[in-house]
Amino acid sequence: MDRWLINAPRWLLVAALVYAPWAYGSTRPEAAALLAWILAAATLVWGAVCVLRRATPAVPPVALICVLALAGLGWFMVGNARYDYEGLSHQFIPRTQWIPGAAGSLHRAFSLDAVLQVCALFGGFCVVCDMARFAEWRKRLLLTVAITGTSIATLGLLQKLTGATAIFWGSEDMGRTFFATYRYHANAGAFLNLAWPVVAGFVMLTFLHRAGRWEKGLWVTALVLCLAGVLVNTSRASGALGILLGMFWFAWAGWQVAHGRLPGVSPGVAAVTALLLLLLIGSVAALAGLDGSFHRWSRFGSEVSEQNPRLLATQVCLGMVPKAGWLGFGAGTFPTTFPYFTERFGTQMRGVWLNAHQDYLQTVIEWGYLGAVVWAVLVFGGIGYSVRRVFRHRSSISASARVTHLALLLALLSVLLHALFDFPLQIPSLQLYVATFLGLLWGSRAWLRPPRTGHLGRHRGDSHRPQRAARPAASVSTVSA
């Protein structure tokens, strides 16, 4: 089979990683739709290749069961929808159900759009699980994440430096909370917190493998830009998480160096590099402007009260959960259902709430208890599976694999913590990056393992070139990051 056809879905996935954040975070309907089409095309081509080659899809059974269960639940709720909703008259319009009286979406149109996007995302996740088998494609995925994240951070810093009121190429007033291509600063901050751990991983790998000065300089610069962007961005949640996880990263790296687990990196070099990084990050952040972040933090004490809208919204959501039941109100129905549970708060709950600012409660409301459990298995199961492999092979896993694994874990931890008080998991571009990282973790059997001693030809791609002898373990592990 032609190599270009085999690699087509993989390159589409790489293109989606670049497109998603630059297309205004894929938050606009047309951008989200195009992203879904790209992922759907990648999935269909990948599926066709698997059929033509009579190859079993390289998706772990547990993950595949979760994906199929959630897709099935979503489509059942759409097909058995109890209502559609007329926005102008604010009325629920009854529909004929497949199973009268059974659970079904309360807003069929919204659920249909949401399920289509989720299924496209699941397809991308499966493609990544397959790509995780090949070292060169793992490296391409992570390079794309790192370079794209750095470019978004650079754009945001330039906007702050110039005092821009909108994206440079647009005339639309983005308000005071935009950063880079994201209208809402918290989403931009969540994206940067997904990207900078991967960049930090590449920084560490350049020292591990004694890369040239220019390569070290480029990756150090990229990390400085990403972390400075996290600090300058006025989102308090993303800033606090960035600092917290950054401290953990530096502490972990120092501990690894002190115990000789990162060969090639001396304690002196590590200490000097860390100090230089901190000075550069602080200098760039101060130059770009930290006044907005300081001003937001100065208001934090006055905003923490029982009348805070987000705390009130959480109370509303807690009241919605029992009503949602085992199957929920339907994917994407939160904006429709939320207003009908806010009456007891009167004018305290003003405005239109498209998201709950608490992703876990919103998931239970839309997908029910059953759906939330399956989502939890898919997300936390991938993390647990990879951690279990690290502990099982802790004495033989390469330093490069440990660095890569930590980068993925920190990136996911940042967004999972952020989801406690915001809605990063409702943003298509962030969903794609989370799905990509989870796909790499679910596919970690290919790279979180002892070094191979045989031939690598069939593991390095799908070409029919003759097999080549295995390189030293350190060299093989380098490209896994």
Tens digit of each residue's pLDDT, the chain (481 residues): 688 889 999 999 999 999 999 999 999 999 999 999 999 999 999 999 999 988 888 999 999 999 999 999 999 999 999 999 988 888 999 999 999 989 999 999 999 999 999 999 999 999 999 999 999 999 999 999 999 999 999 999 999 888 888 888 876 666 677 899 999 999 999 999 999 999 999 998 998 887 888 998 999 999 999 999 999 998 899 999 999 999 999 898 888 888 777 776 778 877 887 888 888 888 888 877 777 776 677 776 666 677 788 889 999 999 999 999 999 999 999 999 999 998 888 777 777 899 999 999 999 999 999 999 999 999 999 999 999 999 998 888 888 999 999 999 999 999 999 999 999 999 999 999 999 999 999 999 999 988 765 433 344 444 434 444 444 443 333 333 3
Helices (H), 233-266: 236-258
Q: pTM for the full model?
A: 0.91
- The span from the CA of 362 to the CA of 356, in Å, is 6
Considering the domain boundaries, does residue 416 fall inside one?
Answer: yes
What does the H/E/C string look like for 69-114?
A: HHHHHHHHHHHCCCEEEECCCCEEEECCCCCCCCCCCCCHHHHHHH
The per-residue pLDDT for 303 is 67
Considering the domain boundaries, does residue 33 fall inside one?
Answer: yes
Considering the domain boundaries, does residue 114 fall inside one?
Answer: yes
Domain count, the chain: 1
3-state secondary structure at position 39: helix
CA 112 to chain centre: 23
- Residue 208 in contact with residue 399, Cβ under 8 Å? yes
Considering the domain boundaries, does residue 235 fall inside one?
Answer: yes
The per-residue pLDDT for 453 is 52
The per-residue pLDDT for 478 is 37
The per-residue pLDDT for 74 is 97
The per-residue pLDDT for 143 is 97
Considering the domain boundaries, does residue 326 fall inside one?
Answer: no
Considering the domain boundaries, does residue 62 fall inside one?
Answer: yes
Burial of 169 (0-12, 13-18, 19+ CB in 10 A): exposed
The per-residue pLDDT for 209 is 84
Task: Please name every residue paired with 94 in a beta bridge, in sequence order, or none if there are none.
Answer: 83
Q: Please count the other Cβ atoms lying within 10 Å of the Cβ belonging to residue 168.
A: 9
Name residue, tokens 């917290």.
244
- The span from the CA of 272 to the CA of 277, in Å, is 9
The per-residue pLDDT for 380 is 97
For 252, the token pair is 């972990």
Name residue, tokens 């220019």.
214
Considering the domain boundaries, does residue 309 fall inside one?
Answer: no
For 3, the token pair is 């190599």
The per-residue pLDDT for 301 is 65
Considering the domain boundaries, does residue 347 fall inside one?
Answer: no
Nearest C-alpha neighbor of 168 from the set 178, 21, 177: 178
Range of the structural domain that residue 295 is part of: 3-302+356-462+470-478
Angle between helices 185-208 and 428-442 (to 10 degrees): 30
